[in-house]
Structure 1
Amino acid sequence: MKFNALPLLALTLFSAGALAVTNPYQLTTEADVTTLHQQTLPNFWRDHAAPGEFKGKDGVTIRYAALRQAKVDRAILLVNGRVESYLKYQELAWDLWRQGYSLYLIDHRGQGLSDRLLADKEKGYVADFDDYVLDLKQFHDEVILADKPAKLFLLAHSMGGAISARYLERWPDDVEAAVLSSPMMGINLGGLPKWLAQGLAATMDTVGSWWGEPPYGPGQTGYVSHEFADNGLSHSEPRYQAFRQLYEQHPQIKLGGVTAHWIREGIKAGDAAIAEADRIKTPLLLIQAGEDGIVNNQAQNSFCARLQCEGGKPLRIEGAWHELFIEADTQRLPALTATLDFFARF
């Protein structure tokens, strides 16, 4: 959120310098999006997505969806980002399902369909970033392992990438391999030095909480549906509009900006993920959005330098904004093809 080496096999260069995108896995394209969201995905989700819930730390209800193939052989744990719900991942789930994977998707505490933690349900808040990690471990141990998948992989986005990094630093053997998309190893602080952002957030958190629940951080407000022309998440208008329409259809999943306390926790989590990256023994591919304005790409580089990510550095998708899995085909197809190529090796 904003505070205010695998080769790219899917890309082929033309002599004129333009880029042509190949699609070896027959993944969905922008031309499919309207029909997909109006017809295919509602039927797919109704027939295959089994909702469930469990009680996480402090009795918080954590909700999830499981999409099980007839035989749960190869499975993917999908870990979404801040503001998100697993409902947003239906197109990605459809693409992965058609490759034969069972899927397990979780909504983090304080967002999506899981319990909100404050009276103002649009405030992004977590008491301790580690709570996200413990919820993910419980989901793995109590829900996924009950199905006994032969091989489990992890695919995480943004804040989910930071959660997953902290998870893998403790339990590196829980999955065969992991892919982190635009992981939040550092927040885009809008040009503020980290020490100043931390100090400002700490002051607002402490003083603001004297008069009630944790306050929003600097520049943060309730949910806002930005027009496509004003968004910095995706170049794909049909995918972006589908995402916004989904939130209008399910207003209970709307979430606004973050609290000052969340900013403190998010900064600490990114720093810790980098500091302890060498504990991760899981094969890991980090996919970086070349023009990401939401998270800090240099922090991702630092993470990979300590961990020795696949290829020795992030796989950079040039021209991409933050949301790689709802990006335009020219960015989404290379990112998802690289993900599937990587998982296929295990």
Structure 2
Amino acid sequence: MPTIPPIDIETHGHAGLLLGSMWEPPTAPTWMAVLVHGYGEHIGRYQWVADRLTHDGAVVYGHDHVGHGRSVGERVIVEDFELLVDDLDLLVRRAHEEHPDLPLVLVGHSMGGLIAARYTQRHPDLLTATVLSGPVLGRWPQITDLLQHEEIPDVPISPSSLSRDEDVGEAYARDELVWHGPLQRPTIEAFAAELTTVNEGGRLTVPTLWMHGEDDRLVPIDGSRYGWEQIAASDGRAISYPEARHEIFHETNRDEVLDDLLAFVHEHV
């Protein structure tokens, strides 16, 4: 499958300029996808996902959150996730303005899954379907543990926890746009607050797919599954992958994962 290069795009979010990408399909698009990346990373790590979606007919959008990648802001500082949901809304509405007749699917990974779940609660009218990959939902014991410390321990994300594919971890470790330091207290507190907000935000009314690796050591599956059970749509679906780690889109069975995602999309688009 040939790689489709992205087009740089800009969004003026709550704190300033957000830089992102748009990928166009080789033929006229039949649907839209908006990708929402995870903590400490950037949208450029989703080239593989964009390639699969564009070759299925999607025009794909995504931007780097404030404090992430090429966007403005103090690195990985998030004081209120509702503001990141507001930023995402600007991108979703831009996609609808540029392709007003196409259905839109929201795809969020990890922290991006938390943002996507909240967006789906707040703006169901703008979405045809939502996909949550290894989402931070429900209970995340690491957050509770870190908040007990007067000084947050300097424990960055281990590249080996991302995927069984060693190349993924090595590329992550070399990536200068990735944050390789510890979590920051304001961000931890914002995570805790948003988890409560989503847990209490009501069930999703948009068809939603929850996908999770069963050997996810960053966002353990049990806590995320608990959160999914609190908000799952009546026509929602859950899929888990034995032995898969956190980044299921970059796992050794990535083709299976993207096949499952696209099969779900085709049911609703």
Superposition TM-score, scaled by structure 2 size: 0.89
The corresponding residue for 2:247 is 323
Which position in structure 1 is the counterpart of 2:87? 135
> Structure 1 unaligned runs (5+)?
1-27, 29-39, 205-216
Bigger radius of gyration, 1 or 2? 1
Question: For 2:240 and 2:234, how far apart are their aligned partners in 1?
Answer: 12
Q: CA deviation at 1:155?
A: 1.1
- Pick from 48, 54, 74 the counterpart of residue 91 of structure 1: 48
Q: How many residues align?
A: 267
The answer to whether 1:299 aligns with 2:220 is no
Amino acid at match of 2:263: D
* 1:189 and 2:141 matched: yes
Q: Write out aligned runs for 1:1-346 (5 A).
A: 41=3, 44-45=4-5, 49-58=6-15, 60-69=16-25, 70-117=27-74, 121=75, 124-186=76-138, 188-190=140-142, 194=144, 197-198=146-147, 200=148, 204=150, 218-220=152-154, 231-245=160-174, 247=175, 251-278=176-203, 280-309=204-233, 314-329=238-253, 332-346=254-268
Aligned-residue RMSD, C-alpha: 2.4
Shift of 1:336: 1.5
SS of the equivalent of 2:141 reads: coil
Q: Tell me which of the two structures has the higher relative contact order, counting C-alpha pairs closer than 8 angstroms and 6 or more residues apart.
A: 1
The percentage of counterpart residues that share the same residue type is 24
Structure 1 pair 309/322, CA: closer, same or farther in 2 (3 Å)?
farther
The runs of at least 4 consecutive aligned structure 1 residues that moved more than 6 Å come to 310-313
Query: Counterpart amino acid of 1:97?
Result: T
Q: Cα deviation per residue 1:219-265 (whole Å; 9 max; x = unaligned)?
A: 236x78x5x6xx111001233334444x1xxx244452221111111
Q: C-alpha distance in 2, partners of 1:315/1:309?
A: 14
Q: Measured at CA, do residues 157 and 143 of structure 1 come closer, stay the same or move farther in structure 2, by a change above 3 Å?
A: same
Aligned CA distance change for structure 1 residues 297 and 97 (closer, same or farther; 3 Å): same
Counterpart CA distance in 2 for 1:220 and 1:267 is 19
Report the AA paired with residue 218 of structure 2.
I
CA distance in 1, matches of 2:127, 2:236: 20
2:209 partner amino acid: L
Unaligned runs of 5+ in 2: none
**Aligned-residue offset at 1:313:** 6.2
TM-score when normalising by structure 1: 0.70
Letter in 2 for 1:340: L
How much has 1:147 moved relative to structure 2? Answer: 2.9
User: Is the contact between residue 138 and residue 199 of structure 2 (CA under 8 Å) also seen in structure 1?
Assistant: no
